């Protein structure tokens, strides 16, 4: 049966589905705008502690107002399900872009990574950690704007599944060592994920590879990635080092914040190739 309405919203189409539910493009007839609806089955947050954590997370993320973060407008309960009402972002995922281009130009690389840092820095200042930064959760609009998606879903996935396997399988390539090991998660975990993405955008491949998922996880926690310059001569030793700091195994060895990561890139390009600079990094 085709779903036509969710509460007051007119459903347009399904945008995607995952372990926590479906995402719909819908129309809000009262505000006269398109929105994205994340519909989460009520049983996923049926435990009181999960529900309390979920509501707390969504409330915190609703305060994250930044041009590079998809805004959460509202949370509703409809037909036994929780509905997160979010900004609808028209564009393509970073994953789609990387599959099409493989290795990005330095200018496009900086434009994307600096905006992602800006959005995450704003979230981190509000005490919100994404936990699932990956190319699929970064959207690029036709105007060149980066939008980070799915802040509210990552912790819900990791805290309401008995084994966390479904969450792990889709995200292990971008998870920080401390996240893989089940240790304390801080904003440094998001920085590590951005470091993986930065590496992938310039090398055309992920920094940690394995014959299977177990090998990949082991590589991320113990091994150093190959030099990007081996596959991309545009990446010199200094740029390589900047990205490797974000990929440090221990959180305290990474940059103090994603803002500092972005600033290191800005300072580098300002010295080596000023034409690359098109986006400002967030303030410390």
Q: Tens of pLDDT along 136-194?
A: 999 999 899 999 998 755 554 444 443 344 444 447 889 999 988 889 899 999 999 99
The predicted-structure confidence for 114-132, as pLDDT tens digits, reads as follows 999 999 999 999 888 998 8
Two structure tokens written together for 222: 């113990």
Strand partners, 14: 24
Distance CA 196, CA 271 (A): 24
pLDDT, greater one: 25 or 159 = 25
- Cα 182 to the chain's mean position, in Å? 19
pLDDT band at 3 (very low <50, low <70, confident <90, very high): low
Mean pLDDT for 249-274 is: 96
The two domains 7-87 and 91-276 share their CATH topology (first three levels equal): no
Distance CA 227, CA 199 (A): 9
Averaged pLDDT of the chain: 87
Q: Are 247 and 196 in contact (CB under 8 A)?
A: yes
- What φ, ψ does residue 33 adopt, rounded to 5°? -155, 160
pLDDT of residue 61: 79
Q: Just list the catalytic residues.
A: 132
- Among 201, 130, 203, 128, smallest CA distance to 171 is for 130
Alpha helices in 146-231 (DSSP H): 151-160, 165-171, 177-180, 187-203, 213-222
pLDDT of residue 172: 81
Helix (H) or strand (E) holding 281: none
Alpha helices in 102-143 (DSSP H): 106-125
51-56 CB contacts, 8 Å cutoff, 24+ apart: 53/155, 53/156, 53/159, 54/82, 54/152, 54/156
The predicted-structure confidence for 204-250, as pLDDT tens digits, reads as follows 999 998 888 788 888 889 899 999 999 999 999 999 999 999 999 99
pLDDT band at 62 (very low <50, low <70, confident <90, very high): confident
Domain extents in the chain: 7-87, 91-276
Alpha helices in the chain (DSSP H): 48-62, 94-101, 106-125, 151-160, 165-171, 177-180, 187-203, 213-222, 237-246, 258-272
Confidence (pTM): 0.88
Distance CA 269, CA 190 (A): 23
pLDDT of residue 194: 98
% of the chain at pLDDT higher than 70: 88
pLDDT band at 59 (very low <50, low <70, confident <90, very high): confident
Domain 91-276 has CATH 1.10.510.10: yes
Architecture of the CATH domain 7-87? 2-Layer Sandwich (3.30)
pLDDT band at 98 (very low <50, low <70, confident <90, very high): very high
């Amino acid at each position: 049966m085709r779903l036509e309405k969710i509460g007051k919203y007119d459903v347009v189409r399904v945008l995607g589905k995952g372990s926590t539910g479906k995402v719909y493009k819908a129309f809000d007839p009262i505000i006269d705008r398109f929105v994205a609806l994340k519909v989460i089955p009520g049983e996923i947050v049926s435990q009181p502690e999960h529900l309390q954590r979920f509501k707390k997370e969504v409330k915190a993320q609703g305060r994250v107002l930044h041009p590079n973060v998809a805004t959460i407008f509202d949370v509703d309960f409809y037909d036994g399900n929780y509905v997160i009402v979010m900004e609808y972002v028209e564009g393509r995922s970073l994953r789609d872009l990387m599959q099409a281009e493989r290795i990005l130009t330095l200018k496009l690389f900086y434009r994307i990574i600096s905006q992602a840092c800006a959005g995450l820095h704003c979230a981190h200042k509000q005490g919100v950690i994404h936990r699932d930064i990956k190319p699929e959760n970064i959207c690029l609009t036709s105007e060149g704007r980066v939008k980070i998606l799915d802040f509210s879903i990552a912790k819900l996935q990791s805290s309401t599944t008995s084994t966390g396997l479904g969450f792990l399988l889709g995200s292990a390539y971008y998870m920080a060592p401390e996240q893989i090991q089940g240790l304390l998660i801080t904003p440094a975990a998001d920085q590590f994920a951005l470091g993986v993405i930065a590496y992938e955008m310039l090398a055309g491949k992920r920094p940690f590879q394995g014959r299977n998922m177990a090998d990949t996880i082991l590589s991320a926690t113990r091994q150093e990635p190959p030099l990007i310059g081996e596959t991309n001569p545009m990446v010199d030793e200094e740029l390589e080092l900047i990205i490797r700091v974000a990929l440090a195994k221990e959180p305290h060895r990474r940059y103090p914040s994603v803002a500092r990561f972005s600033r290191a890139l800005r300072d580098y390009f300002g010295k080596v190739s000023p034409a690359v600079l098109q986006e400002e990094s967030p303030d410390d």
